Structure 1
Amino acid sequence: MSSTLSTSVSPRAALVTGGSRGIGAATALRLAQDGVDVAVTYVQDEAAARAVVAKIEAFGRRGVALRCDAADAGAAAGAVDRAADALGRLDVLVNNAGIGVLGPISTLAGPEVDRVLAVNVRAVFLACRAAAERMADGGRIVSVGTALSRYAGGPGGTLYALSKSALAGLTKPLARELGPRGITVNLVQPGPVDTDLNPADGPFAEGQRAATALGRFGTVDEVASLVAYLASPDAAFITGTEVVVDGGHAA
């Protein structure tokens, strides 16, 4: 983004859940580069989260690392308040934290189902509810889903796709509810992206790569640039929509 935009967003404050690695870390750094103070949540890898904060601060922005297990309903909502208190305000919420448990539906045990739905659905809802109370007018809510909720993926993705599909149902009515305050709510649907959890050279990569029109995996920075745009003042007239960044998988 241009230096003009970077100046225009400063000194806003953002919370990126699951911001210690992958798309979340890339998004946190892109927002910091654009002049936003950023809090990130992590579950176990505090060192990775601290490393992201150090990079945020290298851009001259304030960074905060918050431990938060999104499966805990109280922690999920509390992270929003903690971020707003630490940074002095909250203008952007990026719901990025998520987990995927893959396997045939007959093999998925109750605790696995409960945790996936708690992290991927309930925590997002509770974070949005808390943000609606703390966020300034003109704020931004961006959730990160998956393009698997828009087309049939491979066998074993039923629970993950189910949980991420719920985000579309949350995004549209919430955009209507918060619209009078100028708060936009959008959903980003990534296709195959090269991350530690789904590496471009992994055992399941070739089929995903071949299914895209571009014949490659996306990068975390490519997804982060879209999230950052939707979080920016330039995207003030975009709300209640799903934006697919999948390399033409659904083309």
Structure 2
Amino acid sequence: MVLMDERREQILEDALKKGSVTVHDLANKYSVTYETIRKDLAQLEKQGLLIKSHGGAVLKQKTVENPFNVRQEKNIDLKQEIAEKATKLIPEGASVIIATGSTVLELAKLLILRNDLKIFTDSIPAATYLLSSENEVYLFGGKIRPKSSSVYGGWTNDLIRSVNVDLCFVGSDGFNGFNGPTSPSYSDASIDSTIFEQSRKQYILADTSKFTTTSIYQLAPWNKLTGLVTNNSIDAEMKHSLENRIEII
């Protein structure tokens, strides 16, 4: 049976492809009751993603999520600069969660040079790079999500809740107009929120382009996070817009 979070993400993906969805078709597709689908649509409407209509819903906001390998090459120099800064935030002997994301992956590559850390990750590319590391590395289990090259689901959340770490590093698809970092994926946002809960310090890694872009699921409000690691070239106006809400590094 498809989990609730996964079903809602797939319903949104259906709406992105078709422009609208019907309660009848969705109930048949997921083998659930009409009332269950209506609750799903009500929640997606509450998040500002769909508009409920008679017998279904129509798309309110169209967001296209690029595959991980496409995002990985974008602004690579800026991402590497951020990763260098982030390594300086990790004390000797720390326990760390490395989340999914192309900027966070650049950090994982640098951590190969360390040998004193206990590292947990839901990112398959990060785990692959860290295979050659002398750190103690753990890959959370779960269902594989190809678009973000990560794992997700109830099993993943349970595993994350079984650990408490010193700090975590999470990426973002942007935050313009939001009171916190965002993700295009309902399931990725759920995993990242759990990662925040299990970390004593929480850092967002985001290059300067993320100040003018945004996605649809907010991960957490700024005042619940420790810091935002970004580039030296950050515009003064952009910096001012956030510096009273979160430490900018």
TM-score, structure 1 length as denominator?
Answer: 0.34
Higher strand share: 2
TM-score, structure 2 length as denominator?
Answer: 0.34
Specify which structure has the bigger relative contact order, considering alpha-carbon pairs within 8 angstroms and separated by 6 or more residues.
Answer: 1
**Structure with the greater alpha carbon radius of gyration:** 2
